[in-house]
A and B are shown apart, each in its own frame.
Chain A
Amino acid sequence: SQTIHQWPATLVQPVGSPLSLECTVEGTSNPNLYWYRQAAGRGLQLLFYSVGIGQISSEVPQNLSASRPQDRQFILSSKKLLLSDSGFYLCAWSPTTSGEIQETQYFGPGTRLLVL
């Protein structure tokens, strides 16, 4: 069976500090990978998605970036955090899409980030 891990679980960082969140998936190959953010009072917002190693698509202009150095590893980074970066960061995976239909996405446990 497939398992998705995220760490750290919680993080408190000062404004202007760097950020690195990691997500790994086990039990599948060549998954599609996604980063979402859930801020207070707002819905889940797609930040980045990746269909393969080194392939990153950005959905929202911001001071965040993503990388996929290995097939089942997805990293979210920032050089300088803003107060508005606080939120619940969720990584998700889906099977490789074989056609036009979006496959189900499965979420990791999330990282709760508080920027002070």
Chain B
Amino acid sequence: QKEVEQNSGPLSVPEGAIASLNCTYSDRGSQSFFWYRQYSGKSPELIMSIYSNGDKEDGRFTAQLNKASQYVSLLIRDSQPSDSATYLCADSGGGADGLTFGKGTHLIIQP
């Protein structure tokens, strides 16, 4: 069975610092990877998607993918209190199949 593993946290980071979130996946056939942010009581919202090895940057967010190590990470620069949320990592084997999610990492940005 496909699995996505994340450290549940909480991960506490001072405001203005870099938050680093990590994720590993079990299926070597996975081709698509996603980071979602979920505030308490709300539905997940997309942060970034990544499909190729290397880094992908979007504003304060950088996603990193290493398929050889089956590892995905998300860096948040200049962390803000509004970044405090649970971050969900997900992967997909492709096509129209659904996503496999990790249980999420709870991030707390300390003012």
Q: Which of B9-17, B40-48, B63-71, B76-84 contacts A (4 or more CB under 8 A)?
A: B40-48
- Inter-subunit contact A100/B31 (CB<8 Å): yes
What is the 8 Å Cβ interface bit string for chain B, positions 84-99, against chain A (1 contact, 0 not)? Answer: 0000101011111111
B49 contacts the other chain (Cβ, under 8 Å)? yes
Give Cα A59–Cα B4 distance, bound, in whole angstroms: 17
CB-defined contacts of A100 to chain B, threshold 8 Å: 31, 94-95
Interface size on A, residues (CB 8 A): 24
Give Cα A44–Cα B36 distance, bound, in whole angstroms: 11
CB-defined contacts of A109 to chain B, threshold 8 Å: 42-43
A87 contacts the other chain (Cβ, under 8 Å)? no
A74 contacts the other chain (Cβ, under 8 Å)? no
B contacts, CB < 8 Å to A: 4, 31-32, 34, 36, 42-46, 49, 51, 88, 90, 92-104
The 3 closest A-B pairs by CB, nearest first: A102-B92, A46-B98, A44-B101
Between A and B, 20 residue pairs with Cβ closer than 8 Å are A34-B98, A43-B4, A43-B88, A43-B101, A43-B102, A43-B103, A43-B104, A46-B98, A46-B100, A49-B98, A90-B44, A97-B96, A102-B32, A102-B95, A102-B99, A105-B34, A106-B46, A107-B43, A108-B43, A109-B42
